[in-house]
Amino acid sequence: MSNVNEVKEFDAVIIGAGFAGIYQLLKLRRLGLNVIILEKADQIGGTWHWNRYPGARCDIPSLEYSYQFDESLQQEWNWTEKYSAQPEILEYLNHVADRFELRDGIQFEEEVQSAKFNEDNLKWNLSTNKATYQTKFCIFATGCLSVPNKPNFDGIENFEGELLQTSNWPHEEQDFTGRKVAIIGTGSSAIQSIPIIAEQAEELYVFQRTPNYSIPSNNGPMDKSIEKEIKARYSEFRQENYLNGFGIAGISDESLIAETELEEVHQQLEENWQSAGLGFFGGYADIPIDKDANEVAADFVRNKIKEIVKNPDTASLLCPDYHIGGKRLCVDTGYFETFNRENVHLIDLKANPIQTINSNSIEAHKSYEIDTLILATGFDAMTGALTNIDITGRENIKLKDQWEEGAKSYLGIGISNFPNLFTITGPGSPSVLSNMMPSIEQHVNWITDCIDWMIQNDKAVIESSETAEEEWMSLVNEIADMTVFTDTKSWYNGSNIEEKAKAFLPFIGVPVYTEMIEEVVNEDYKGFIFDRMN
Ligand code: N01
């Protein structure tokens, strides 16, 4: 029988068994380290475990939204669709865990509650709901969109119907047949689920605070000729993608709307609307940076919405008035078309805010009787998973306090005052403004090489210098200020959560980022301090 007071000792503890944690486990094991993953859920998957709402699927083609670290894996795995659905993505991750014999390195249903750096023995002490751990390295693979935002709607505790949240969806299949359903929120999760729920529900009330731009996915069965072509040169294809602005194939055309005849622009935008999905945003190089060019693309999409949605008042409410891409662009299957159904009703929350929620209704400008309420209200993005754990670094500094005015990190990997703590796709890295999969692999490879280098060079402790961190975040903001991302309220800058510091966190530009993190390594980890003397 194990002793409950026993402190379990590891070289490295990884928090989270999603795509990042699983690969990090493999890499550190290959380095010969004694490693464990602590995972809150009862199975692997991270984002893809929790977000199992109807219609959940990736919106980056699966041939890219997949691991590249093992040639046989990427050759042998066959995706059934262009954009795979959540169950298939989870099946893939389970396959990887089995193929590389990783399951015995994961402790399930263990939620990390605190992590404290001990300056005497230079180790981290972690407490979970079940046990305590001591480790030299602490790696947070906790994801960028993993802590649900649950707004405190007046009276929600009185609701007696079925209350669901897209980001924590039940495992059992939900049948909405004959039900009156309300959904609050119109971000990517809602945009994917609404068309499917609308087909079943008797009535569907969509409560929208801000409309979103969405591009048709044109999803379908995997095109075998494209698959063959990519697989014939898979590693080359992956390397090329690191040279594209958002790390995604075909998303960075160099032509400018500003220098192109409007008729030609419209023809090209039409082609991109039909086939590019998220790539619509990078279809011209000036859409992300030039407000006038952005307006041409935005207006194109608004016109599409007005063409698709038959009721002009509904169409008008569905048209966003901010820069396209300012909020995360969505990709859909039949979203706008759904508003032509008689059982689907759009409620504008700006004009008609929710007053209260009763046992069986939502009260706004009128009463909406409902059986089911779905919250599709997003996440405490990019920092929530870290600030929700009690993390204490040197001199008893709490991460939550250090980040009170806004998160700061060096490269999105290291944080000053928090030695030997690494974040995978942390704030200050391309993360959510890139294809998460190659960005995860890039960070895991970087962190593994860094730990290996420390072992080879007899270094015990690494931490970011405050100067490097300050300069890095200034650069993140300087780049962002050159784009359309900063003047729209979005979860990229914390505006979706009232009490959160407003700071723009993703690094924009995968190729520049890649060059810079490689340069840091080539210059013996410049900006980091090793074995700091107090
Ligand atoms: O969350 P969101 P999400 N009262 O934050 C509204 C990724 N993802 O889960 O815009 C009323 O986008 C809020 O309104 P507003 C993707 O990166 C990817 O949909 O703040 N409404 C908004 O409409 C995505 O961007 C996929 O005014 C409130 C909605 O809730 C990210 O996850 C699929 C409210 C939240 O939208 C998050 O998407 C799904 C309130 N108090 C998600 N609070 C793929 O395709 C919030 N809202 C891979």
Q: How confident is the model at residue 2 (pLDDT cuts 50, 70, 90)?
A: very low
pLDDT for 498: 87
Residue type, 61: P
Question: Whose CA is closest to atom 12 on ligand 1?
Answer: 187
pLDDT at 304 exceeding the cut of 60: yes
Label residue 411 exposed, middle or buried (CB < 10 Å: 0-12, 13-18, 19+): buried
pLDDT tens-digit series, residues 168-186: 999 999 999 999 999 999 9
Q: Percentage of the chain with pLDDT > 70?
A: 99
Can you state the angle between helices 86-99 and 19-30, rounded to 10 degrees? Answer: 10
Nearest CA to ligand 1 atom 24: 188
Structure tokens at 292: 């006038």
Q: Is the pTM of this model over 0.95?
A: yes
Q: How far apart are CA 314 and CA 208, in angstroms?
A: 11
Mean pLDDT over 357-375 rounds to 98
pLDDT of residue 1: 43
Mean pLDDT of 105-118: 98
Would the CB of 496 count as within 6 Å of ligand 1? yes
Nearest-atom number in ligand 1 for the CA of 349 is: 11
CA of 126 to the centre of ligand 1 (A): 32
Alpha-helical (H) ranges within 335-465 are 335-338, 384-387, 399-402, 436-456
pLDDT tens digits, one per residue of 86-96: 999 999 999 99
Residue nearest to atom 31 of ligand 1 (CA): 188
Nearest to 400 by CA among 410, 386, 418: 386
Query: d(Cα 295, Cα 277) in Å, to the nearest integer?
Result: 18
Mean pLDDT of the chain: 96
Tens of pLDDT, residue by residue over 467-503, are: 999 999 999 999 999 999 998 999 999 999 988 988 8
Atom of ligand 1 nearest to the CA of 210: 27
HEC sequence for 457-519:
CCCCCEEECHHHHHHHHHHHHHHHHCCCCCCCCCHHHCCCCCCCCCCCCCCCCHHHHHHHHHH
Segment 411-435, tens digit of pLDDT: 999 999 999 999 999 999 999 999 9
Fill in the DSSP letter of residue 525. Answer: S
- Alpha carbon distance 269, 278 (integer Å): 12
pLDDT tens for 252-276 read 678 999 999 999 999 999 999 999 9
pLDDT of residue 251: 66
Is ligand 1 within 6 A of the CB of residue 493?
no
| Residue 312 to residue 142: CA distance in whole angstroms | 43
pLDDT confidence bin for 138, thresholds 50/70/90: very high
In this predicted structure, the answer to whether residue 436 has a pLDDT above a threshold of 70 is yes
For ligand 1, say whether the CB of 349 is within 6 Å of any of its atoms.
yes
The amino acid sitting at 241 is N
pLDDT in tens, 336-364: 999 999 999 999 999 999 999 999 999 99
Exposed e or buried b for every residue in 174-184, given b needs 16+ CB within 10 A?
bebeebbbbbb
**Residue 473's pLDDT is what?**
97
pLDDT digit string (tens) for 211-261?
A: 999 999 999 999 999 999 999 999 999 999 999 989 998 766 789 999 999
> Which pLDDT score is estimated for 242?
93
